[in-house]
C-alpha cells in the first residue's frame, strides 16, 4: 500500500502544521474540523506561513500554489472514505480520541492506517477500540510542526511491523527524523520535558526565584533557546497540567505530581499565550 491521500483531523496549530508539511511533501491532504471557524483559521494559517516562506525566499510562488492546490478543507469525517492515512490531532482527551477512532474504523478503507498525534495518551488503548489494531500507531509531531524535525513514532502493543515501516518511511518523506518509541506514559519527549517544566514551576511556587530569573538560568546557564516557563506558556499550561497528570497516574511516582501553582493558574484560566496570561502577560 502506498500512502497518497491523507486526512488530518483538527485544524488547530498542530493539525494545520501537520497538514501543511504533508501537502508540501506532495501528498493530497484533507484538513478536517467540524468547527467551520477553526477550519477557516487553520487554512488561513497555512496560507500565511507559506506566503512568509515565499517572502523569505525559502520557496517559490509556484511551489506555494502547488502546495495549496493539494490541500482541501473538510468538515465531515466521512470524507476519509478514500484516504490511505488519517492523522488525528484533536484535543488531548481519551474519550474524544477513541470516539474519533471508532468512527474512522468504520469509514476508512480496510488498508488505511490510523495515526494519533497524542503527546502522552496510550496508543495501545486507542488501538483496542478499532477492528484494525495492527494498523493504528502514534505520530507525535513537535510544535511548530513546519520547523521542528522530530517525530516520535509510537508502537502500540498491537501495531504491526508493516505499519511502523510505512509511517517511518513517510516521516522521511516529510523531511522529518523519526524515533521509534514504545508505548509508555509521556513517551520520551514529554516524560523528560514536562517534569523539568513542573520543577521550574515549583521553584517559583516555593519562592526560590522569580519567573524571569528561572528562565534566565536555563537560557544562559544551560543554553536552552527559551526558558521552561516561557515554553510552558507557549505549549499551554492546561496541556502541561494534563500531561503531568497522565505521567503521575500512569507511572505512579510522586516525582510526577503536578505543582499546585500550575493547577491554580489553570483553574484561573491563565493558560499561557492562547489566553493572554500565564507566567507572562501577552497582548
172 appears as a binding residue in the annotation:
no
Q: Does 120 participate in catalysis according to the annotation? A: no
236 appears as a binding residue in the annotation:
no
Q: Does 119 participate in catalysis according to the annotation? A: yes
142 appears as a binding residue in the annotation:
no
C-alpha distances (whole Å) from 169 to each of 2, 56, 207, 226 are 11, 29, 48, 31
C-alpha distances (whole Å) from 218 to each of 17, 139, 172, 206 are 28, 29, 32, 18
Options 16, 116, 190, 198, the catalytic residue:
190
13 appears as a binding residue in the annotation:
yes
198 appears as a binding residue in the annotation:
no
110 appears as a binding residue in the annotation:
no
Sheet holding 85-88, edge to edge: 71-74, 28-32, 5-9, 85-88, 113-116, 136-141, 150-155, 177-182
Options 119, 120, 178, 198, the catalytic residue:
119
Q: Does 245 participate in catalysis according to the annotation? A: no
125 appears as a binding residue in the annotation:
no
Closest CA to 241 of 262, 269, 214: 262
97 appears as a binding residue in the annotation:
yes
10 appears as a binding residue in the annotation:
yes
List, as own/partner pairs, every contact residues 265-272 make where C-beta atoms lie below 8 angstroms and the sequence separation is at least 24, other chains included.
265/237, 266/237, 266/238, 266/241, 270/237, 271/236, 271/237, 271/238, 272/232, 272/233, 272/234, 272/235, 272/236, 272/237
**Could you tell me if 156 and 124 are in contact, meaning their C-beta atoms sit under 8 angstroms apart?**
yes
Angle separating helix axes 260-267 and 237-251, nearest 10 degrees:
140
Q: CA-based diameter of the chain, in Å?
A: 57
68 appears as a binding residue in the annotation:
no
33 appears as a binding residue in the annotation:
yes
Options 53, 116, 140, 198, the catalytic residue:
140
175 appears as a binding residue in the annotation:
no
**Could you tell me if 279 and 211 are in contact, meaning their C-beta atoms sit under 8 angstroms apart?**
yes
C-alpha distances (whole Å) from 51 to each of 20, 45, 46, 47, 235 are 12, 10, 9, 6, 25
Q: Does 25 participate in catalysis according to the annotation? A: no
Residues that constitute the known binding site for NAD(+):
10-15, 33, 92, 97, 119, 143, 274
Residues that constitute the known binding site:
10-15, 33, 92, 97, 119, 143, 274
Residues taking part in catalysis: 119, 140, 152, 190
Amino acid at each position: 500500500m502506498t500512502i497518497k491521500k491523507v486526512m488530518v483531523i483538527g485544524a488547530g496549530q498542530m493539525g494545520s502544521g501537520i497538514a501543511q508539511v504533508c501537502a508540501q511533501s506532495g501528498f493530497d491532504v484533507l484538513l478536517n474540523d467540524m468547527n467551520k471557524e477553526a477550519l477557516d483559521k487553520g487554512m488561513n494559517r497555512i496560507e500565511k506561513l507559506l506566503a512568509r516562506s515565499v517572502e523569505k525566499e525559502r520557496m517559490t510562488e509556484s511551489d506555494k500554489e502547488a502546495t495549496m492546490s493539494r490541500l482541501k478543507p473538510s468538515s465531515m469525517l466521512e470524507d476519509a472514505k478514500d484516504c490511505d492515512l488519517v492523522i488525528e490531532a484533536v484535543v488531548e482527551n481519551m474519550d474524544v480520541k477513541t470516539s474519533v477512532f471508532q468512527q474512522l474504523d468504520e469509514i476508512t478503507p480496510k488498508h488505511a492506517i490510523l495515526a494519533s498525534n497524542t503527546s502522552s495518551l496510550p496508543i495501545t488503548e486507542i488501538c483496542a477500540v478499532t477492528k484494525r489494531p495492527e494498523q493504528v500507531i502514534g505520530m507525535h509531531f513537535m510544535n511548530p510542526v513546519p520547523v521542528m524535525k522530530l517525530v516520535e513514532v509510537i508502537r502500540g502493543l498491537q501495531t504491526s511491523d508493516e505499519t511502523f515501516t510505512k509511517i517511518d518511511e513517510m516521516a522521511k518523506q516529510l523531511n522529518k527524523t523519526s524515533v521509534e518509541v514504545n508505548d509508555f506514559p509521556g513517551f520520551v519527549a514529554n516524560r523528560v520535558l514536562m517534569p523539568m517544566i513542573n520543577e521550574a514551576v515549583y521553584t517559583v511556587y516555593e519562592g526560590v526565584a522569580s519567573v524571569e530569573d528561572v528562565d534566565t538560568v536555563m537560557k544562559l546557564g544551560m543554553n536552552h533557546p527559551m526558558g521552561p516557563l516561557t515554553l510552558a506558556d507557549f505549549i499551554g499550561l492546561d496541556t502541561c497540567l494534563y500531561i503531568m497528570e497522565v505521567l503521575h497516574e500512569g507511572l505512579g511516582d510522586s516525582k510526577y505530581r503536578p505543582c499546585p501553582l500550575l493547577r491554580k493558574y489553570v483553574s484561573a484560566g491563565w493558560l499561557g499565550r492562547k489566553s493572554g496570561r500565564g507566567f507572562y502577560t501577552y497582548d
